[in-house]
């Protein structure tokens, strides 16, 4: 764990004001959602291609051994 993360956790652990703690949690949720949305956008831009003959053969071999 990084020193910054340890310091943040320590300070939040000592915090008594519930409003501050709820604001921190709200901000964390906001950042988490923003990162997930960015990841979704990146995945949506990926174009799928048709499988090659090697990929088809590997898949068929896998199905047979399963």
The answer to whether the pTM exceeds 0.75 is: no
Range of the domain at 57: 3-65
pLDDT, one tens digit per residue, over 12-49 is 999 999 999 999 999 999 999 999 999 999 888 887 78
Contact 28, 36 (CB under 8 A): no
* Per-residue pLDDT at 52 exceeds 80: yes
- Average pLDDT of the segment spanning 2-10: 95
Number of compact structural domains in the chain? 1
């Amino acid at each position: 764990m990084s020193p910054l993360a340890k310091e943040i956790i320590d300070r939040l652990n000592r915090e008594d004001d519930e409003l501050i703690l709820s604001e921190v949690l709200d901000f964390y949720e906001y950042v988490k959602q923003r990162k997930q949305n960015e990841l979704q956008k990146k995945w949506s831009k990926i174009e799928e291609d048709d499988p090659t003959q090697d990929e088809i053969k590997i898949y068929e071999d896998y199905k047979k051994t399963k």
